[in-house]
Amino acid sequence: MRNSLIIALDFPAKRQVLDFLQAFGDEKVCVKIGMELFYSEGPDIVSYLKEQGHEVFLDLKLHDIPNTVRSAMKSLASLGADMVNVHAAGGQEMMEAALEGLDSGTSSGNRRPLCIAVTQLTSTSEEQMQTQQLIQVPLQESVLHYSKLSADAGLDGVVCSAYEAGMISRHIGAEFLTVTPGIRPASGVAGDQKRVATPQFAREEGASAIVVGRPITKSAAPLESYRSIKKEWEGVLL
């Protein structure tokens, strides 16, 4: 997953995924299956995309009591995704349980999926966090706190915005993944995202990976948009 551009396949069903991927031909990409697609298609969509040779981030953002998350992760581990996630707000014990579940559900000889934690959603502004979650510290501090908690739990990294990626790497280490959604080309529409950044900014801040949905999936020319965002992310001169 490191250095990847992860395409968020936020589609209602497999049909639209196939239509979208058709333009990519035989090219293998890195994709994210979120709640919309997983809830409509079920676990088979994970094995299908893996069989096609794509890397898969299964983004279900688990957040529940430790026992439930442990059991759910045991089930998810067998689906073959490369990476899964939880909400760091569930706490250290819950995150440790997530890893236990993944370990126990991974059959011998296979690698357990990477597990990362959402810190503060990229759709959350500092003002919202302080007035709605009643977290009375700057947003950066909350994101760093959740990142340290995730690292203490043994997780492989976090989901954060590009604005926090550099800070997290400096405090925790470059091996700790910083996966950054909220990515928009300079001319892009933010929509519901609050902490948005360009692919170039994410690269300069040392983000491990970027997650991009609508700027590609809703584009009139998805493949061209993908290629241009990927070039900017990889630092290829445009």
Ligand X SMILES: O=C(O)c1cc(=O)[nH]c(=O)n1[C@@H]1O[C@H](COP(=O)(O)O)[C@@H](O)[C@H]1O
Residues that bind ligand X in the complex, under the rule CB under 6 A: 8, 10, 32, 34, 59, 61, 85, 118, 121-122, 159, 181-182, 193, 211-215
- Nearer of residues 112 and 214 to ligand X, judged by Cβ: 214
Say whether 68 counts as a known binding-site residue.
yes
Q: Which is nearer to ligand X, 89 or 108 (CB)?
A: 89
| Residue nearer to ligand X on the CB measure, 186 or 237 | 186
Tokens, residue 139: 């947003």
The shares of helix, strand and coil residues in the chain, as percent rounded to the nearest 5, are 45, 15, 40
Question: Judged by CB, which is closer to ligand X: 10, or 100?
Answer: 10
State yes or no: 62 annotated in a binding site: yes
Catalytic residue among 50, 61, 74, 231: 61
Does the annotation count 61 as an active-site position? Answer: yes
The total of other beta-carbon atoms located within 10 Å of residue 220's CB is 6
The annotation status of 171 as a binding-site residue, yes or no, is: no
Give the nearest distance from C-beta 97 to ligand X in angstroms: 19
Q: How far is the CB of 141 from ligand X (least distance, A)?
A: 17
Cα–Cα dist 48/177, whole Å: 26
Specify whether the CB–CB gap between 91 and 152 falls below 8 A: no
Active site residue 103: no
Q: What is the closest distance, in whole angstroms, from the C-beta atom of residue 134 to ligand X in the complex?
A: 19
139 is in an annotated binding site: no
| Residue of 14, 50, 64, 148 with catalytic role | 64
In the complex, least distance from residue 146 CB atom to ligand X, rounded to whole angstroms: 11
Strands (E), the chain: 5-8, 30-33, 55-62, 83-87, 114-118, 157-159, 177-180, 209-212
* 59: annotated active-site residue: yes
d(CA 183, CA 129): 20
Specify the residue for token string 């890397």.
55
Residue 33 token pair: 């299956």
Q: How far apart are CA 86 and CA 83, in angstroms?
A: 11
Asked if 232 contacts 24 with a C-beta cutoff of 8 angstroms, the reply is no
Catalytic-role residue among 14, 19, 28, 59: 59
d(CA 161, CA 207): 9
Q: Is 193 annotated as a binding residue?
A: yes
Residue nearest to ligand X (CB): 213
CA atoms within 13 A on the CB side of 145: 11
Q: Which is nearer to ligand X, 23 or 67 (CB)?
A: 23
* 140 annotated ligand-binding residue: no
Looking at the annotation, which residues are catalytic? 59, 61, 64
User: Which residues make up each annotated binding site?
Assistant: 10, 32, 59-68, 122, 184, 193, 213-214
Binding residues for substrate, by number, are 10, 32, 59-68, 122, 184, 193, 213-214
